[in-house]
Amino acid sequence: MKKRWSRIFALPMGISVLMLLLAACGGTGTTGSTPTATGNVVIKIGTELPVSGGDASSGKPAENGARMAVDEANAANFIPGYKLVFDPKDDVGAGGVHDPTVGATNVTSLISDAQVAGIVGPFNSNVAKAEMPISNQAPIVQISPSNTNQCLTKNSPPEIGCTGSNNLIATLRPSGKVTYFRIATTDDLQGSVAADFLYKTQNYRTAYVIDDTETYGVGIAIQFIKRFTADGGKILGHDSIKSTTDYSGELTKVAATKPAVLFYGGVDSTGGTQIRKQMVSTPGLQQTPMGGGDGIQTGAFATAVGTTSGGPVFSTVAAIDATKVPSAATFIQNYTAKYGALGAYSAGGYDSAKILINAIKAAIAAGAKPPTSSSDSAGAQTFRQAVIDQVAKTNYNGVTGHQSFDANGDTTNKTISVYQLAAVSGAPGWKWASAITLP
């Protein structure tokens, strides 16, 4: 009996002693002398991207880009006295693709670490939907290299379709303040550019639209339909189909309408690859061209589909092509030397992290103090707010062109690139076709 009682007391006593010790340490940390130039104060840069499973070829290049930005900043001692630590998270869930629930858990765990100053990501718009309310309330900045769903940041004008159940601003921005930024331009523009390109440049007069039922896919499909119709084209049908292995019935139906082009709203891992592969074995669609957004612009799609069967494939990317930006040459050289071929959002990941690092530097220069321990949540709150304020003021010339943010957190850089599936240095890849810069 006696022994048990002592044990019961030992636990709370031990904990309180530990707390005292921690508090003492924290005290000396914040009130002590300024950190030395050896870089012993840690600031963490989080990333929240899908980097495994079916999404590896989408998210991993973006993560590599961000990692490179952090490594370069450390090597150049970019923020004297501080060491940046890269803290990557992966939101691929049990299904093998990006999972909003996993994303939300990742963001919560990044927030709980006071030393994380900001987050690069997420990659997918439906994951952003789950994460934004959490990061907004913390608050902590999120900079996405690739989210393109327009309703994540705006609910007007009504033409972009973010009204009624699609009006998400109150849910995604509960504090009323903007804490989420993105350097990719939105689907209302991406879908429009795709429609213009397919109708005006390629002269396709009829289209059939399939989307993958996800936030991103439905959004881009709806915008495509609006613009294609406005251009004078005819939409022969629009179906929303959740990712499956068998599209043969759907495609047989599509074939009966004889479309000039099939537009797919969605990502490669939720049907893009399967649909294109199965088109080739569907009578009537064997040579039909396919169009899509940045979701199909991946290396995995190019490798799986190849360039020797079926009709042409076009995709749009809501960013400038890094190879077309003269100042990006060094980045491309360094990136390819370290990680191999560029992904669609390698440059986006790099610039998102650079913007975050610049903002951290500016916040420190303006007098904000980064927390010195992982448990200093009060310190984290002040510092993170200071970082958010600096990100909002971004005025940065990067490898994705000039970046600054409007009042919604959207980039003011509205260049969209169009690509075609083709052999690129001997292997199937994406060949730059044209770029359209919107006002």
Partner 1 sequence: MTLFIQLVLVGIISGAVYALIALGYTMVYGIIELINFAHGDIFMMGTFITITIFGAFHITDNPPFGMPIVLAMIVAFVASTVLCALLGVVIERIAYRPLRNAPRLAPLISAIGVSLVLEDIGKLWKGLSPISPPQIFNTVLYIDKISISVTDIIVVVTAALLMVALQWMVNSTRIGRAMRAVAQDREAAALMGVNVDRVISFTFLVGAGLAGAAGFIFLLKFPTTTFTIGFQLGLIAFTAAVLGGIGNLVGAMLGGLLIGLVGSLVNLIPNSDDAAVRGFGIPHGGGAWSLAIIFAILILILVFRPSGLLGQQTPEKV
Interface residue list for partner 1 (CB under 8 A): 52-54, 56-57, 95-96, 213, 237-242, 244-246, 248-250, 252-253, 256, 268-269, 273-274, 277-278, 280-281, 283-284, 286, 299-300, 303-306, 308-310
Of 53 and 312, CB closest to partner 1: 53
Tell me how far, at minimum, the Cβ of 12 lies from partner 1, in Å: 40
Q: Kindly list the distances between the CA atom of residue 177 and the CA atoms of 106, 200, 396, in Å, as whole numbers in the listed order.
A: 22, 40, 22
CA atoms of 383 and 398, how far apart (whole Å): 25
Tell me how far, at minimum, the Cβ of 59 lies from partner 1, in Å: 11
Tell me how far, at minimum, the Cβ of 349 lies from partner 1, in Å: 18
* DSSP symbols for 136-172: HHTT-EEEESS---GGGT---SGGGS-SGGG--HHHH
Of 286 and 397, CB closest to partner 1: 286
Q: Kindly list the distances between the CA atom of residue 14 and the CA atoms of 24, 112, 243, 374, in Å, as whole numbers in the listed order.
A: 15, 23, 53, 21
Of 118 and 310, CB closest to partner 1: 310
CA atoms of 266 and 216, how far apart (whole Å): 6
Of 196 and 212, CB closest to partner 1: 212
Please choose, from the candidates 341, 330, 420, 414, the residue with its C-alpha nearest in 3D space to the C-alpha of residue 150.
Answer: 414
Of 73 and 92, CB closest to partner 1: 92
Tell me how far, at minimum, the Cβ of 217 lies from partner 1, in Å: 12
Tell me how far, at minimum, the Cβ of 143 lies from partner 1, in Å: 26
Which two structure tokens, joined as six digits, stand for 415?
């260049």
Q: Which residue has the tokens 């560029």?
A: 342
Q: Kindly list the distances between the CA atom of residue 419 and the CA atoms of 138, 178, 296, 329, 432, in Å, as whole numbers in the listed order.
A: 39, 32, 11, 20, 4
Tell me how far, at minimum, the Cβ of 163 lies from partner 1, in Å: 16
Of 266 and 409, CB closest to partner 1: 266
Tell me how far, at minimum, the Cβ of 273 lies from partner 1, in Å: 5
Residue 97 has what DSSP assignment? S
Of 6 and 248, CB closest to partner 1: 248
Which two structure tokens, joined as six digits, stand for 264?
């797919």
Tell me how far, at minimum, the Cβ of 42 lies from partner 1, in Å: 31
Number of other residues whose CB lies within 10 A of the CB of residue 286 = 13
Of 177 and 205, CB closest to partner 1: 205
Residue 201 has what DSSP assignment? I
Tell me how far, at minimum, the Cβ of 57 lies from partner 1, in Å: 6
Regarding beta strands 234-240 and 261-265, do their DSSP bridges make them parallel or antiparallel, or are they unpaired? unpaired
Q: According to DSSP H, which parts of 138-261 are helical?
A: 169-172, 187-196, 215-231, 248-256
Q: Which residue has the tokens 């890094």?
A: 322
Of 345 and 383, CB closest to partner 1: 345
